[in-house]
Structure 1
């Protein structure tokens, strides 16, 4: 039972070995090489005879078993196995014939083995030992005893277990590829859920079979870094998934060591949700652009900072007489669009205070200088991180002219009722009421003091802006009061409200 390469020249000489148990049955430790081995290592050392008797152990070996005296290990290997539970890291028991000592006694060259060791009465907190076995020969070349060298791997494997738990629990998809043969040795749940693969579909496959760099613009550089064990920077790739389709991902690689093996940790970010969101956004923007462009109501988008036109639709072009190229990039002041140059400042104050404008009466001048009465509504929006204003404007010039002409005629006729009989006066009153969709018999007592004040100013012909200035209210509040007045008296237009008010003797200036 000789082992070439492990033999040493053994000259009998009495030497003192540190940490020697006083009960050591070895007659004399004569090997200087053995003394140097024991004193130069922090590992545990156990000497075992070929009769399986445990001859001696250093203090480190005892500590690695949680005992203080040699006899607590057991006098023989058989007693040792009765006192300590030996399992592989997969929790399978270490059979007697697989223990390094048994292999050495058969003349085999025992390989290092990593096992978990725990007292049989405390199996839940094992130590992790890597055990190597050497045969010591005497000077005649005959095997004399065996040496077990024990490395404490508990801390390292606990750290690896923590990494394994974190790796598996991490929702971010990840793979681990062994660099020695470029095969995948770990896969987490995140990767399996993203691709639809099972664990058996991935673990054991090569990096060629499951190419994580397919479709990458930097594929050659990424593959070169993988072969050289260097960091793989983030790159976009088309990862093939279980159903055969491609999934766009971002992949990056980081070199790591697992169980003393060099590996590459791949992490992934699924770009499909982002791509779906981008496609949905593009479709939404396309629908908005079509609706915006085809709307029969004049519409445009302003930059909120300076009211510069960002976009304008065809209806605005028709209304103003300016070409789109003349509008976009300029402001209403540049185009002299406002009949009142202060209009823009008033609109800006409303947007700043209220964030929106609803049905504001404004007058603009189109390209040929003609005045146009409009109702303008606006809402602040965010456009690619830029604060903007979406505006719509309806031309009400004809409507206002018709209302004004009707009111003038009625007021003129009724200014002197003495020329008419009671029947004619009643018909004129009925004609005035015809402007109301739902005539109301309510009196002024249904209105609040503020609402009555607003109505009086309407009868004086003031606009919302002028009423707001006169009463020191916001235009939004004036509009709310008018809406309430219209609802209470059953009208929908200012002209009808004026007729209703005149019929009931509402006149004079509102309170300041």
Structure 2
């Protein structure tokens, strides 16, 4: 009776354990199981475990973690019933298809599978014979599901990674990203040590990193040189994070390949050097400024030669602060156009060099990004000499066209085209002209004097002069030669012969 009371007390103690406990008699009956053991099998009562070792084998299908089935004679319960003492057998447990689960762990979710960690224990009678055979079960399903999720994530992660076991510093896992980075296959690397394939080689503080590795501490990011299967070395960033794999302390190494970045940096440096060389050696003035505020970041030698400002005086200041612009309103329009459109092409402006005076310049500017900063690159062409020549030529043409009686029409046309060649763009001022004013302008372009125009159009001399004055006002010109040029640029052709002319020579034009 005392023995029975003692066994009852033992059952009460065992009943509250989180580990499952199943008691088996020497004649292979399942005599008792605590609630934890029942729950780990989806059972509500002791009978749901099958009653005997054979009944248990009929109700539950066991597989090893490598998915191979467990033979009936190697079921842990069979081994425990035979009196064998064993440690840490891991198996997947599922109810047999022919066995209806009386209390499934997850109703409606299909077949329920558990992962059990099992060990055995044998109690003996005073005479040394086996008395109670014990199977102790731990439900490690969640842990293995987490490990499987980690395995899937580890394998699918595009970032190169490898896992090193801390006990012997041997590699136990690597993913496809690491294989692609280094050329190592799994069988080439798993089982080899850190000293054979050193993922910390070339790190500036390798000894300290190895100390942290052995201590199971996080290894911060650092640059290293990773040797691949072909012997080639690649610059990488490596970091280590402690983890556990199947209860073994390990280190997860992850890598970032620096080679693409280094190649990009090398190409960028080469590009910047080419830009700097071209900028410095350009024969025309060039400047580089921040778009925000237009403060100068760089000027070339040609800029210094033309405008007299050296780098010390110019850099950090805007063109306005240097006093380069003659017209502040023109400066405002120019800068607003850059901010609005991103650039300006061939704008005629007037600039003042340091030594005084004024220069007629042709300026082009474009927004560029240099070293991550939005800038404005400007190119300046000094056209002062050309403009002076043009003004002198225009004055000469004006003087010549004041009396065209000595020149043929072809010469008049060439003189007109020389003043502002190539401009054929439509002008809104054409729409402001009346039909009569267009007639008058056409005859002016043909070289007719006011008298001949009056004769051709049957108009009084004063009427013609009024039309000519209206033309000058609408066209924004001040003399007959300018009106001729304006009209010729917009398609008012001269004719080969005129009424009242001899030999195709036009009558003298009035100034």
- Superposition TM-score, scaled by structure 1 size: 0.76
Listed one character per residue, the Cα deviations across residues 108-151 of structure 1 (whole Å, up to 9, x for unaligned) are 54122111111221895321111111111001222223111111
RMSD: 3.2
* Structure 1 residues 238-257: aligned runs within 5 Å: 238-257=225-244
1:277 Cα deviation from its structure 2 partner: 1.6
What is the aligned partner in structure 2 of residue 269 from structure 1? 256
1:115 pairs, out of 69, 79, 91, with 91
2:62 pairs, out of 82, 86, 95, with 86
Q: Structure 2 CA distance, aligned partners of 1:254 and 1:283?
A: 37
CA contact (8 A) 1:238 1:247 kept: yes
Q: Structure 1 CA distance, aligned partners of 2:196 and 2:83?
A: 42
What is the aligned partner in structure 2 of residue 395 from structure 1? 382
* Structure 1 residues 154-169: aligned runs within 5 Å: 154-169=141-156
Structure 1 gaps of 5+ residues are: 1-10, 16-29, 441-445, 454-495, 507-512
**1:501 and 2:486 aligned:** yes
CA contact (8 A) 1:100 1:111 kept: no
Listed one character per residue, the Cα deviations across residues 452-482 of structure 1 (whole Å, up to 9, x for unaligned) are 78xxxxxxxxxxxxxxxxxxxxxxxxxxxxx
**1:298 and 2:280 aligned:** no
1:434 Cα deviation from its structure 2 partner: 5.7
CA contact (8 A) 1:410 1:428 kept: no
CA contact (8 A) 1:45 1:58 kept: yes
User: SS in structure 2 opposite 1:248?
Assistant: strand
Listed one character per residue, the Cα deviations across residues 168-187 of structure 1 (whole Å, up to 9, x for unaligned) are 22222222222222222222
Between 172-181 and 221-230, report the one with greater CA deviation.
Answer: 172-181
1:376 Cα deviation from its structure 2 partner: 0.7
1:360 Cα deviation from its structure 2 partner: 1.4
User: SS in structure 2 opposite 1:85?
Assistant: strand
What is the aligned partner in structure 2 of residue 43 from structure 1? 19
1:60 pairs, out of 14, 22, 36, with 36
CA contact (8 A) 1:118 1:127 kept: yes
CA contact (8 A) 1:433 1:439 kept: no
Against the structure 1 CA distance between its residues 431 and 343, is the aligned structure 2 distance closer, same or farther, given a 3 Å change threshold?
A: closer
Q: Structure 1 CA distance, aligned partners of 2:343 and 2:185?
A: 55
Q: Structure 2 CA distance, aligned partners of 1:80 and 1:261?
A: 32
CA contact (8 A) 2:394 2:419 kept: no
Q: Structure 2 CA distance, aligned partners of 1:363 and 1:450?
A: 26
User: SS in structure 1 opposite 2:87?
Assistant: coil
User: SS in structure 1 opposite 2:239?
Assistant: strand
User: SS in structure 2 opposite 1:13?
Assistant: helix
Q: Structure 2 CA distance, aligned partners of 1:132 and 1:498?
A: 112
1:215 Cα deviation from its structure 2 partner: 1.0
1:449 pairs, out of 416, 425, 428, with 428
CA contact (8 A) 1:241 1:247 kept: yes
1:351 pairs, out of 315, 325, 338, with 338
Listed one character per residue, the Cα deviations across residues 1-31 of structure 1 (whole Å, up to 9, x for unaligned) are xxxxxxxxxx96222xxxxxxxxxxxxxx54
Structure 2 gaps of 5+ residues are: 99-109, 433-480, 492-511
1:101 Cα deviation from its structure 2 partner: 5.2
